[in-house]
Amino acid sequence: MQPDNSIATPVIAGNWKMNKGPSAARLFARRIRELAPWSDDRTLALIPPAISLTALAEELGGVEGMLLGVQDIHWQEKGAFTGETSAGMARDAGASVVLVGHSERRHIFGETDEETRLKVKAALTAGLIPILCVGETEEEREAGRVAEVILRQLDAAFEGLTPEEIARCLVAYEPVWAIGTGKTATPRDAANAHGILKDRLEELTGTRGGAGVPILYGGSVNAENAADLIAADNVDGLLVGGASLEPESFAAIAEAAATARR
Ligand code: PGA
């Protein structure tokens, strides 16, 4: 089975977190248009704060190989949920991808595995591509629980989905201890975790290769380490936080990753 999101890999996604309002997003977009790091041998995604999505979509909407997204959604379509954004609204504003279960959502805002399941389903129903984030804390790693934790998060979020629905998702392995800390997993750590996830995707979809679901690595990725990480087994892309905030560094990561894949 081919993934029906037909996403070209490597995927290089920039998660801006709570950085850049609409004006700053527009400046970024204009500079990235000059640098034009897109090409048919990669997929780029920019994931700004929801309030800046329309500005980015006005500048970059329709650029081939460049997807836009949001960092979170609520699972209900609409209603009395003050402060929330639905998948359909994000889609309407120009999103085609959505992060689900980012470690900051899980650890700062107390998001549960059950909520990630509801969000993945809502994203798929609205035609968004979910990027499901999984990853262990330092404590869990030291206790030898990497596989247990990431598989629990994966199984919970994909529970009840058909293989075809799973094939429309992306997964990101982001060890919590590597996010925003400057500590990166070694390519070997990444390959190990990605191999574990790939095996489970094969089981869940009943296909060799896990229906081609791309697995991204995230956690202190930068232009210097991108090539080594992308060269690791089963690393199909990178989810970049801090280093995605400057157009030059985001473009350099995209170039390094695509070059290393050739
Ligand atoms: P970082 O963040 O690259 O700043 O470590 C990655 C992420 O949280 O997606």
Residue-level pLDDT, tens digit, the chain, 262 residues: 344 457 999 999 999 999 999 999 999 999 999 999 999 999 999 999 999 999 999 999 989 999 999 999 999 999 999 999 999 999 999 999 999 999 999 999 999 999 999 999 999 999 999 999 999 999 999 999 999 999 999 999 999 999 999 999 999 999 999 999 988 999 999 999 999 999 999 999 999 989 999 999 999 999 999 999 999 999 999 999 999 999 999 999 999 999 998 8
Residue tagged active-site, from 102, 115, 136, 194: 102
Instruction: Verify whether ligand 1 is closer than 6 Å to residue 218 (CB atom).
Output: yes
Atom number of ligand 1 nearest to Cα 240: 3
Instruction: Verify whether ligand 1 is closer than 6 Å to residue 179 (CB atom).
Output: yes
Give the model's pLDDT for residue 41: 94
Helices in 72-145 by DSSP H: which ranges? 87-92, 103-107, 113-126, 138-142
Q: 3-class SS at 133?
A: strand
* Mutational test site, ligand 1, from 12, 15, 70, 99, max ligand atoms within 8 Å of CB: 15
Question: Which residues in 3-28 are b (16+ Cβ under 10 Å) and which e?
Answer: bebebebbbbbbbbbebbeeebbbeb
Give the model's pLDDT for residue 3: 43
74: closest CA among 125, 5, 150, 22?
Answer: 125
Active site residue 203: no
Structure tokens at 4: 């029906």
Active site residue 115: no
> Going by C-beta distance under 8 Å and a sequence separation of 6 or more, which residues neighbour residue 128?
69, 73, 87, 90, 91, 95, 96, 97, 98
Atom number of ligand 1 nearest to Cα 180: 5
DSSP 10: S
Give the model's pLDDT for residue 203: 97
Atom number of ligand 1 nearest to Cα 219: 5
86 forms beta bridges with 74
Give the model's pLDDT for residue 5: 56
The model carries a pTM of 0.97
Q: What angle do CA 88, 204, 200 make, to 5 degrees?
A: 110
Give the model's pLDDT for residue 142: 94
Residue tagged active-site, from 111, 136, 174, 255: 174
Give the distance (Å) from ligand 1 centre to CA of residue 102: 10
Distance CA 90, CA 76 (A): 12
